[in-house]
Amino acid sequence: MNFRWLNSILWGNSVALSWMWGLGLFFSVQMTFMFGLHGLLMFAIPNALGLMLFGFLTQIVANRQSGGQESLAIYFDKFSKPFRLILYIYQIVALSLTVFALVKYLFVPLNLASGPLIALYLCLIVFVILAAGCLFGEEFGIQKIKLSHAMLGVLLLVCVVAILWNLTPLMPDKLVWAASFPRVDVGGPDFLGYAIPLVIGLLVGPWLDLQHWQRAIQIHREKTSIRASYFFGGMIFFLMLLFHGCLALWVMSTKDYQLTSITGLDGFQYAHDLVTKYITANYASGTIMPFAYFSFLAICALTTLDSGYVALKWFLEKNVEKSENMLISLIPKQILGSPIPTFLIVGFVTLAGIAARLELEYFMVFYASFFVGYAALAIARCFVPNSQQPLPQIRMFSMASMSLVIFAFGYLNKNTSLLVLGAILPLAYVIWLVFNADLLRVVTERAGEVMEAASEIPAIKAITRTATVASGLDVSAPHDHHALAGHFEGKWFVYSMIATYADTNSVGNVYFGMYGMYVGKTRELFFNTVLPKFDLKTTKYFILTRSFEHKFVREAREFDTITVKLKVGDFNRKFCTLEHQIFGSENEVLGKGKQSLLFVSSKDYALLDIPSEVYTAFIPYA
């Protein structure tokens, strides 16, 4: 039990460090600069609560699933499938934001280069930061990252102690903690325009972060409480935010402080780097204060980047391995599964952002608007049963983009109503989606109950029985007569048969296993049609079934006409996917599914690429 608590604290420290990205590092300074202590608390409290809430709820998800220590990992594989692109984009923006903030608010104010050398200097700095993240990510995987972060956490604590120790001689005569300092005219939206979007974005933010999902899965594998780990993580993170914000508060209260904000493209005043500038101006280079503070910033950024590297590697390798897309198969898996190309994108975005004179807020708008709907829907799909319908990708992207534009207009025009609307709109849309799906589910269930009840009315039963007898007298061939060996309808290969007594179970329904046999027979006839020269005695390859999936929709009975439609769904260099649909006598869908095929050598069963003759035969029906 003591070990588990220790493990929870170690993971909590790692959670806090990985979440102390550019947003936590420098926006806490800006909020303090604009609104004082109550602005800092408005930013820090929901940020920490968002972490705790994620841990609390994912523990519930893990406990509800079967699979023991792997239950959360199994659940995430299914849960993440429709969110794969948005999870990846979220990670790119988060890492770009962190590197951008560190370069712009730490290295740029140091003025270590001037003139034409600035561009080269910034490129080298970005390269070093990304290389450090890759190095630590490769060196410490998810199993060891809590230990590396424990060591970095100790160094971080030493830096904090050193900073606080050196603040004492210069402490101002009077420090008012209960209220903000006199407000400077910084422009920008008012307090409410920041508060509502930040609270919404920070509370749901962790649900799209791969780093947190990977950590929660690993914590559960180690039989440690996710809830306790994220509680400790939230507390440590809150203290870190409070420290950095109060450090900015202290700088603003000193007698030597002079306003060092800069005017952005929008005309607003930004002071994310006010602590950096103050320490650079008032402490000699090489003394303990600059070294401790700059190390504090570097450790916070590094623990985000190495976590991002590990999470991206885990996510990309898993998805590339499962992908059967032909285009993806043409690119080496070592490249697709590596986070390095993504880190190069991050470096490009960082340099472009600095060249365009962007500020941290221009990255943050995504987390207050664009990602809100996706994160809210992710939470709903974890806990609301009726939200499990296919993700409406186009509608969700359109709503996210629209809310992003509305929020941006509100920010640039200092319009609080538009800011709040941009944050609430995607949230409201997700609620409507879930409610709408629930309404459809209720209507469908009630309609089924009504039809079932109506079928028991004697008059209707008599009519049904008469219709059945009448149809049974018609023994002529069906109007839609099918060829004995099947035929093609467009890209679909179609084969029909009549279910008989041997196909049914004890209650008269067609036995569930027969549907797989129907599909199998149709598949063999499809092969025979498109590969007429295939001969088992001379073939150089065999076609084997890799996997088979089928979803049952309705039941069939004796003497029903069963029609199976089959076509090539997808293929890559190694595997081919066949899709199938099964229909009943009234052309109603009985079920649908897919199967994956692989190709092996007839001599030693070694895995082969799709043979050229198979590719030629299948491609017209893909």
User: Chain-wide mean pLDDT for the chain?
Assistant: 84
Residue 422 sits in the same domain as residue 518 = no
503 SS3 class: helix
350 vs 486, higher pLDDT: 350
Residue 21 near residue 100 (C-beta atoms within 8 A) = no
Q: Is residue 462 domain-resident? A: no
461 belongs to a structural domain: no
Q: How far is CA 145 from CA 15, 138, 225, 226, in A?
A: 10, 10, 17, 16
**Residue type, position 242, single letter:** L
CATH of residue 137: 1.20.1730.10
CA neighbor of 218 nearest in space, from 58, 398, 89: 58
Residues 6 or more apart from 75 whose CB is under 8 A from it?
Answer: 61, 62, 65
Cα gap 181→187, rounded to integer Å: 16
Tell me how many domains the chain contains. 2
**Lowest mean pLDDT segment, chosen from 29-43, 327-341, 458-472:** 458-472
56 & 205 share domain = yes
pLDDT band, residue 317 (cuts 50/70/90): confident
**Coil, strand or helix at 286:** coil
Instruction: Answer whether residue 161 shows pLDDT above 50.
Output: yes
Q: Is the pLDDT of residue 446 over 70?
A: no
272 in Cβ contact with 29 (< 8 Å)? yes
Domain boundary, last residue among 407, 438, 469: 438
Q: What is the pTM of this model?
A: 0.69
Give the contacts of 48 (CB within 8 A, at least 6 positions apart): 234, 235, 237, 238, 241
Domain extent, residue 434, equals: 2-438
Residue 475 domain-assigned?
A: no
Residues 495, 397 share a domain: no
CATH number, domain of 547, equals: 3.10.129.10
Spatial distance between the Cα atoms of 484 and 130, rounded to a whole number of angstroms: 64
Terminal Cα distance for the chain, rounded: 56
pLDDT tens digit sequence for 215-274: 999 999 999 999 999 999 999 999 999 999 989 888 887 766 666 678 888 888 888 988
Q: Are residues 224 and 371 in the same domain?
A: yes
- Tell me, yes or no, whether 83 lies in a domain: yes
| Closest to 251 measured CA to CA, from 23, 42, 30 | 30
Q: Is there a single domain that holds both residue 145 and residue 269?
A: yes
Please give the Cα distance from 427 to 421 (Å, whole number).
10
In degrees, to the nearest 5, what angle opens at C-alpha 312 toward C-alphas 547 and 10? 110
Residue pair 618/566 in contact (Cβ under 8 Å)? The answer is no
Average pLDDT, integer, range 478-507: 80
pLDDT of residue 432: 86
